[in-house]
Amino acid sequence: MKNQYFCAVVHTGEDEFKTLTCIHIYSERYVWGEIANKYLNTFEYAQKSHEDPYGSIYHLDIKEYIFNDYPNVYEMLKQSLLSIGENITNPQIKICMATSHEYRKFDEKFDNEMSFLEYINSETAEMDKNRPITVEILKEAGFEDVTHDYEKQFHKEYDGLDDYVTLRRWTDDTDKNPEKVLKLDIDNGLTNNGAKWNLHIDNNVCSTVGSADIDTVWQFNTLMQVFGSRFRL
């Protein structure tokens, strides 16, 4: 099974094209390989490929080949274009292979998943696994102190905490889809597992969707991925 990406582009000027939409399929059939073997096994294409390896794949109009041999892909592109008021039969519209980077611009969920994969495989993630969350880190990430005096007094008297703090942040600046926006409240009161922080997570209408006792930046960032947010510390 292979991840494969296709885009529809329209000519906007001399050697200039605008990407209208992009789709993703997961299939056992290697579309580009089949197209190359069936339609492009020529000396002319081999020369073009040698001169422009990237353009000979990602700038080549394969609409006719997709229409003839891959009706499922053609239909997906057709419906995607119709959703933005475009007609796939427009001769100005080309169908090309696309990269995962191009597709990420059209699929926020996919982009978030890929970003998280890049993060967990990075040196930063390795450091974050052992980097404790601090008030300074939270404030640098945009959290605001919303601690009430009565809360400080309560936790000092009953829990022996001299530095109790509650911080809050909405994720509307990173999560452009309103339904994905989270309200995050994090405090350093007593926790059930002895962790330093309790993170309480509400959705965009302030209904609780989760909470966790955590210590590290990596744990926080992993929870943001679980709840579909692009926000990270």
Give me the pLDDT at residue 16, please: 79
Give the integer Cα–Cα distance in Å for 193 and 213.
7
Kindly tell me the sign of the dihedral angle through the C-alpha atoms of 49, 2, 227, 22: positive
User: Rounded to an integer, what is the distance from CA 147 to the centroid of its chain?
Assistant: 33
Give me the pLDDT at residue 13, please: 74
Nearest to 232 by CA among 188, 173, 147, 179: 173
What average pLDDT does range 198-225 have in this prediction? 96
Give the integer Cα–Cα distance in Å for 224 and 171.
10
The string of pLDDT tens digits covering residues 60-69 is 999 999 999 9
Q: What is the pTM of this model?
A: 0.71
Instruction: Indicate if the pLDDT at residue 15 is higher than 80.
Output: no
Query: Are the C-beta atoms of 39 and 65 separated by less than 8 Å?
Result: yes
Give me the pLDDT at residue 135, please: 97
Give me the pLDDT at residue 71, please: 96
What average pLDDT does range 179-197 have in this prediction? 95
Structure tokens at 13: 């000027």
Give me the pLDDT at residue 93, please: 94
Question: Binning pLDDT at 50, 70 and 90, where does residue 89 land?
Answer: very high
The string of pLDDT tens digits covering residues 20-77 is 999 999 999 999 999 999 999 999 998 988 899 999 999 999 999 999 999 999 999 9
Give me the pLDDT at residue 165, please: 97
Helix residue ranges per DSSP H, 40-184: 43-51, 55-58, 63-69, 71-82, 100-104, 108-120, 123-128, 135-140, 149-159
What average pLDDT does range 92-99 have in this prediction? 95
Give the integer Cα–Cα distance in Å for 140 and 179.
25
Burial, 160: exposed, middle or buried (Cβ in 10 Å; 0-12, 13-18, 19+)?
exposed
Give me the pLDDT at residue 170, please: 98
Instruction: Indicate if the pLDDT at residue 131 is higher than 90.
Output: yes
Residues in the chain: 233
Instruction: Indicate if the pLDDT at residue 14 is higher than 80.
Output: no
> Considering the chain, what percentage of its residues have pLDDT values greater than 90?
87
Own/partner pairs, 48-52, CB within 8 angstroms, 24+ separation? none
Give backbone dihedrals phi and psi of 231, rounded to 5 degrees, phi first.
-70, 140
Structure tokens at 139: 């404030």
The string of pLDDT tens digits covering residues 164-173 is 999 999 999 9
Instruction: Name the residue type at position 16.
Output: E
Adjacent-strand bridge partners of 166: 187
**Residue 197: CB partners within 8 Å, gap ≥ 6?**
133, 186, 187, 188, 191, 213, 214, 215
User: Is residue 150 classed as helix, strand or coil in its secondary structure?
Assistant: helix
Q: What is the mean pLDDT of the chain?
A: 94
